[in-house]
Amino acid sequence: MIDVAVIGVGQTRYGMFPGRTLKDLFYEASREALDDVDKGLDPNDIDEAFVGTLSTGGAQLGNFAPLMMEAAGMVGVGARHVENACASSGFAMRDAVSAISSGSADIAVAAGVEKMSDLPRERNRLWLGISGDVEWERLAGTNFAGIYAMMARRHMFEYGTKISHIKMVAVKNRQNALENPKAQFRSAFTMEQATKSPNLASPLDFSDACGITDGASMVILARADLARSFTDQPVLVVGSGVGSDYVAIHDRTSLTKLQGAVDASVKAYEMAGIRPEDIDFAEVHDCFAIAELLSYEDLGFCDRGKSGIYLESGITQRDGKRPINNSGGLIAKGHPIGSTGTGQICEVVNQLRGRADTSARQLANVGYGLTHNVGGSGAAVAVHIFKAME
Amino acid sequence: MTSYISLPMYAANIDQRLRIIAGKCTNCSIIVYPQRLVCKCCGGKNFDLTPLSGLGELYTFSVLHGGGAPSEFDYEQKMTGDVLCGIVDLFEGPRVMARLADIDSSQLKIGLKLEAVIRRLYDQEGILRYGVKFVPETL
Ligand SMILES: [Zn+2]
């Protein structure tokens, strides 16, 4: 297999931008990614593009990827839309990596975009339930808030995880986002505020969930042996793994782990030739606060059932031994569904290159960085591991 | 509308929804509900139909407050306040997600004995949709 390196990344600010269009957001991310390729890249040299999006509110379902690439001035690049709900661009990344490692492309693009603010609130709520096993989960009256809530309650029941552990995730990530100029929610958030947040789907409160977000992101990849002709700071994709599971959570044996995440991470660690303890920092899929706790266990950072205690120890804080969601995560940086996977990669790559947007956010110890991108409640998961090229 | 249960999709499973008919794998005897085309356990493709007792225990649950449930439940949520949703471990083995009813949310707890009833879920396109809800066991 041919080694693959990231040569440039770009991401828009995340937020609600009613006046901006999909094309406009995608263009901005592509512009930033191209500018990030220090020694320059002619868009005509890009062989393939993989663009993740859920459905952009149903606005543009056909030929979506060519339309976005055209808007970015990259017309002619073989492009396709990749859809796996909230893991759409994590899988777009996987496909772009495979295109290069298999030898069929020298340069490939993985990108993601979502425009959620176009829709009235009711239609968003109608739309956001579509990534489950709709035929059964939907008639049970729930969407993902209720589904993650039921997983949270089971975790509390089986392992004694406390509400305060769940809230600590939200507080940590919102605090982290304060320093991130690209984050959607940048206001101080304390445990006291978290405990006063109105209930959404018990045991989860509104502050344990993410909001409605617009945004786009792009990652440009090249064969590792060509990477230095584009940048002095390439970042190697040392691990890539994907996994899937039953879509409806009632069909799974356990509700307190995402088997797809376990499988994806095992494959990524194996490819990288490393173990969970070798990961120095990670961006994980905290669509609801409980999901970050599950990720600690699924990725092997701590023992099964111990994520609450692990978080409490401070290890995953910005100044801890293994910072998690230094960007603010989905909860605070924002979760424009299709953009989330490649957006996480932008953060990890910038950290590995020592290019965090503010010095307060630059992590000191960045050997291996990991991204964990989950579709729905775990039906599809993509895990990637990165390391600066020596 | 991108996400809703179309009438044909709903009607195709009417026996499962209104009579709680499960599939029993002819090879390994495991019971699957909702029914499947391929057995979860052995990969078998043949099932005998078997009605379930509708009895089970609450495995986990959530109370969805205003704005938490999908929008087709808005009318009900306006009338009742909360939407109660749970996963029930059925007596015969399968686990299923469904609405909970006839119980105050403060009474819900894991392990609670429940039984299935057929109730109205919501109406859409002028057609009432019925399905299983679980209520406290009456025995
Ligand atoms: Zn079987």
Task: Report how far ligand 1's centroid is from the alpha carbon of A290 (Å).
Answer: 33
Which conformational region is residue B119 in: left (phi greater than 0), alpha (psi within -120 to 50 degrees), or beta?
beta
**CATH code of the domain covering residue A58:** 3.40.47.10
CA dist., res. B85 & res. A151, Å (int): 12
Asked whether residue B33 is assigned to any structural domain, the reply reads yes
Closest CA in chain A for residue B105: A202
Asked whether residue B1 is assigned to any structural domain, the reply reads no
Q: What is the percent of chain A with per-residue pLDDT over 90, rounded to a whole number? A: 88
CA dist., res. A278 & res. A299, Å (int): 12
> Chain A residues with CB inside 8 Å of B67's CB?
121, 125, 200
Give the burial string for A78-88 (b: 16+ CB within 10 Å, else e). ebebbbbbbbb
Closest CA in chain B for residue A58: B2
- Per the CB < 8 Å rule, is A125 touching B13? no
Asked whether residue A204 is assigned to any structural domain, the reply reads no
Asked whether residue A15 is assigned to any structural domain, the reply reads yes
- Write down the ipTM of this complex: 0.93
Give the minimum alpha-carbon distance from A146 to chain B in angstroms, rounded to a whole number: 6
**Average pLDDT in the A55-71 region?**
83
Cβ pairs bridging A and B (under 8 Å) = 125
Closest CA in chain B for residue A149: B62
Asked whether residue B2 is assigned to any structural domain, the reply reads no
Give the minimum alpha-carbon distance from B34 to chain A in angstroms, rounded to a whole number: 8
Does the CB of A15 have a partner CB in chain B at under 8 Å?
no
How high is the pLDDT of residue B78?
72
CA dist., res. B12 & res. B89, Å (int): 24
**Average pLDDT in the A78-97 region?**
97
How high is the pLDDT of residue B3?
47
Asked whether residue A333 is assigned to any structural domain, the reply reads yes
Q: Which of A125, A146, A151 sits opposite B85 (nearest CB)?
A: A146
pLDDT, tens digit, for every residue of A323-375?
999 999 999 999 999 999 999 999 999 999 999 999 999 999 999 999 999 99
- Per the CB < 8 Å rule, is B1 touching A126? yes
- Per the CB < 8 Å rule, is A126 touching B71? yes
Does the CB of A250 have a partner CB in chain B at under 8 Å?
yes
- Residue carrying the six token digits 């009833």: B117
Of A81, A86, A165, A372, the catalytic one is: A86
Asked whether residue B32 is assigned to any structural domain, the reply reads yes
- Report the DSSP beta bridge partners of residue B65: none
Distance, C-alpha A215 to centroid of its chain: 12
Surrounding residues of ion ligand 1, Cβ less than 5 A = B 25, 27-28, 39, 41-42, 44
Does the CB of A130 have a partner CB in chain B at under 8 Å?
yes
Of A155, A165, A335, A384, the catalytic one is: A335
Q: Residue A224 is encoded by which pair of tokens?
A: 């590792």
Q: Residue A23 is encoded by which pair of tokens?
A: 């094309």
List all residues 6 or more positions away from A3 whose beta carbon is below 8 Å from its beta carbon.
Answer: A101, A223, A224, A225, A236, A237
How high is the pLDDT of residue A130?
57
From A168, A363, A376, select the one nearest A279 (Cα to Cα): A363
Asked whether residue A337 is assigned to any structural domain, the reply reads yes
Distinct helix (H) and strand (E) counts, chain B = 3, 8
pLDDT, tens digit, for every residue of B21-77?
999 999 999 999 999 999 999 999 999 999 999 999 999 999 998 766 666 676 667
Asked whether residue A125 is assigned to any structural domain, the reply reads no
A287 is catalytic: no
In angstroms, the Cα distances linking A362 to A171, A237, A353, B15 are: 20, 20, 10, 58
Does the CB of B120 have a partner CB in chain A at under 8 Å?
no
Interface test with B, best of A126, A133, A250 (most B CBs within 10 A): A250
Q: Which of A142-146, A157-161, A216-220 has the lowest mean pLDDT?
A: A142-146
Does the CB of A254 have a partner CB in chain B at under 8 Å?
no
Is the model's pLDDT at A57 over the cut of 80?
A: no
pLDDT, tens digit, for every residue of A98-145?
999 999 999 999 999 999 887 766 666 555 655 667 677 777 777 789
Domain region containing A369: 4-120+211-388
CA dist., res. A82 & res. B116, Å (int): 40
Asked whether residue A77 is assigned to any structural domain, the reply reads yes
Domain region containing B73: 7-136
**H helix intervals, A289-335:** 289-298, 307-312, 329-332
How high is the pLDDT of residue A70?
96
From A321, A288, A329, select the one nearest A176 (Cα to Cα): A329
How high is the pLDDT of residue B69?
64
- Per the CB < 8 Å rule, is B62 touching A55? no
Q: What share of chain B is helix, strand, coil (3-state, %, to 5)?
A: 20, 40, 40
Q: Which of A139, A200, A202 sits opposite B121 (nearest CB)?
A: A139
Asked whether residue A177 is assigned to any structural domain, the reply reads no
Q: Which of A81-95, A215-229, B114-128 has the lowest mean pLDDT?
A: B114-128
How many domains does chain B fold into? Answer: 1
Asked whether residue A142 is assigned to any structural domain, the reply reads no
Q: For the purposes of burial, counting CB atoms within 10 Å of the CB of B66, is it exposed (0-12), middle (13-18) or buried (19 or more)?
A: middle
- Per the CB < 8 Å rule, is B62 touching A146? yes
How many domains does chain A fold into? Answer: 1
Asked whether residue B116 is assigned to any structural domain, the reply reads yes
How high is the pLDDT of residue B2?
36
How high is the pLDDT of residue A61?
73
A335 is catalytic: yes
**C-beta neighbour count of B129 within 10 angstroms:** 17
Does the CB of B114 have a partner CB in chain A at under 8 Å?
no
Is the model's pLDDT at A204 over the cut of 80?
A: yes
**C-beta neighbour count of A362 within 10 angstroms:** 15
List all residues 6 or more positions away from B51 whose beta carbon is below 8 Å from its beta carbon.
Answer: B19, B20, B21, B22
Is the model's pLDDT at B92 over the cut of 90?
A: yes
Contact A119, A127 (CB under 8 A): yes
Give the minimum alpha-carbon distance from B62 to chain A in angstroms, rounded to a whole number: 5
Does the CB of B124 have a partner CB in chain A at under 8 Å?
no
